Amino acid sequence: MADGALSERPPTENEVRLASEAARALAGALTPTGLPFSVCKNGDKTEVALPPALGQLVLDVLTHVARGEMITLIPYGAELTTKEAADLLNVSRPFLVKLLDQGEIGFHKVGSHRRIRSEDILAYKAERDLERKRTLKELQKLGQEFDAP
């Protein structure tokens, strides 16, 4: 069994296989009224019924693990360290600190450490991704104009 959370390492082959099996089983059980399932431990059986949104969240997590992807769940309103925020944006920590110092992303200090609200990082990421899509469309348009006879 591998040590560490799946936010720090990719899932093992066994975890991928088990997540895939669980996702298939639970996907068939998810209904508009929720996700009912049973948990058995030491011979005791407990019935659980998750509301639809939570059932879908469980399936989403299992699906990502089944694809062999690392996952991180971040509660809305959480405060992230610069390392956590940099990992979320897939940039280096020094690059993130530069963005913070330039005022691109809001932050506050706790002692000498910077803390970034998850919603600020996610808003920056969404805007960055949107700008990338716009630029790609512009490049595609220019490429089509260049290739046109």
Residue with tokens 């089509």: 144
Q: Which residue has the tokens 């998810």?
A: 30
Q: Is pLDDT above 60 for 129?
A: yes
Q: Is the Cβ–Cβ distance between 116 and 107 less than 8 Å?
A: yes
Query: Domains in the chain, ordered, with CATH?
Result: 13-66 (no CATH), 79-147 (1.10.1660)
Task: Identify the pLDDT of residue 2.
Answer: 57
Q: What is the pLDDT, as a whole number, of residue 64?
A: 94
Query: pLDDT, tens digit, for every residue of 61-120?
Result: 999 999 999 888 888 889 999 999 998 898 999 999 999 999 999 999 999 999 999 999
Neighbouring C-beta atoms of residue 120, cutoff 10 Å: 17
pLDDT in tens, 14-37: 999 999 999 999 998 999 999 998
pLDDT at 37: 83
As a whole number of Å, the CA-based R_g of the chain is 21
State the Cα–Cα distance between residues 50 and 132, nearest whole angstrom: 37
Contact 100, 107 (CB under 8 A): yes
- Does residue 4 carry a pLDDT above 80? no
